[in-house]
Structure 1
Amino acid sequence: MYAKKVETEKEYEDAIKIRRKVFVEEQDVPLHLELDEHDEEAVHFVAYDEGTPFGAGRIRVIEPGIGKVERVCILPSYRGRKLGNLMMQCMEDYSNSTGINKLKLNAQSQAILFYEKRKYTITSPEFLEAGIPHRAMEKQI
C-alpha cells in the first residue's frame, strides 16, 4: 500500500471517486461543496492497495510557506489500519519538499485525536462546516 501525489488524469479521477464515496455518499456533504473551485489549484494525493484506490486528500498553498490540508479521507473498509497516517505522511513530505513549513487544516471533531497524534494543535473553537462539527488545527513541519 502506498500514497502518492496525483500525476495523471486517472489518479485524479481515483482521488475524486474516493472523496465522493466518503464525503458525499457516506457523510451527506452536498456535491457542490465537496467538489469546489479549489480543486483546480490544489495538489491532489491518492492512496492505492495493489491498484485499488482507498484514500485521497489535497493541499493548497494559502500563504507563502503555509499549506492547507483538505479532503483527507479513507474508505470505510480500510479504516483502523493506520492508513490515514500513510496519507498524511505523504502529504507532509510533499509539503516539506516544496517549502511549506506550516500546515493548517479543519479537522472533523471525531478525527481530532488522529491529528493530535500527528502533532497538530487545535487553534479554534468548534464550528460547523458542511453541517459537520470541525476544529481548526495546525502544525509546523
Structure 2
Amino acid sequence: MYLVKVVDTKKEHDDAFAVRTKVFVEEQGIPLHLEYDEYDAMATHFIMYEGKKAVGAARLRIIEDNIAKIERVSILQSQRGKKLGALIMKEIEKYAITIQIKKLILHAQSYAIPFYEKLGYNVTSPEFMDADIPHRAMEKLI
C-alpha cells in the first residue's frame, strides 16, 4: 500500500530529501548544491511511503497567482515500473486544485516526456540543458 502526503514533520522532510539525494545526486550525478536550492524553503514537499519506507518525493512551488511548478519528482530505482510516478503526480494535482492552481508547469528530463504526456502535459519549449541533463518545459491546465 502506497501513501502520498504533504510533508509536515521533520522526519517526512528528511525522508523526502533522502529520496531526492539517492535519485538525483547519487544516481544522476547532480551536484548537491544544485539539487538543494533556495526554493526548498518556500516549496510544498510531498513524500510517498510504502508502509514506513520512503520511496518517492516531489515538490510544488507557486510561481504566480494561479500557476505552480512541479519539481524534483523522484522515485527510488527499486520502485520504478509500478506507476508510482503517476500516483505522486495525481496527488500533487489534487493538492494544487485545492489551493486554486489553474496551470501546472514543469521541466521534464527529455527521456521522461512520454511519461508526462500520458498524464496530460504538453511540451512548451525546445530542449535545453539543466545540470547537464536535457530538459523540455511542459504544462497542463487543471
Q: Which residue of 1 aligns with 2:131?
A: 130
Within-5 A mapping of 1:77-92: 77-92=78-93
SS at match of 2:81: coil
Could you list the runs of 4 or more consecutive aligned residues of structure 1 that deviate by over 6 angstroms after TM superposition? Answer: none
- CA drift of 1:52 comes to 0.1
- CA drift of 1:18 comes to 0.2
| CA distance, structure 2, for counterparts of residue 2 and residue 116 of structure 1 | 24
The alignment's C-alpha RMSD in Å is: 0.4
| CA distance, structure 2, for counterparts of residue 64 and residue 73 of structure 1 | 26
Q: Deviation per CA, 1:53-100, whole angstroms, max 9, x where unpaired?
A: 000000000011000000001000000010001110110000000011
| CA distance, structure 2, for counterparts of residue 93 and residue 11 of structure 1 | 20
| CA distance, structure 2, for counterparts of residue 110 and residue 6 of structure 1 | 28
SS at match of 2:113: helix
Q: Which residue of 2 aligns with 1:45?
A: 46
**8 Å contact from structure 1 (residues 105, 137) kept in 2:** yes
Q: Which residue of 1 aligns with 2:5?
A: 4
Q: Which amino acid aligns with 1:71?
A: R
Name structure 1 gaps, 5 residues minimum: none
Q: Deviation per CA, 1:2-26, whole angstroms, max 9, x where unpaired?
A: 1111011100100000000000000
- CA drift of 1:137 comes to 0.0
Q: Which amino acid aligns with 1:117?
A: K
**8 Å contact from structure 1 (residues 2, 49) kept in 2:** yes
SS at match of 2:49: strand
TM-score by length of 1: 0.99
TM-score by length of 2: 0.98
| CA distance, structure 2, for counterparts of residue 56 and residue 67 of structure 1 | 17
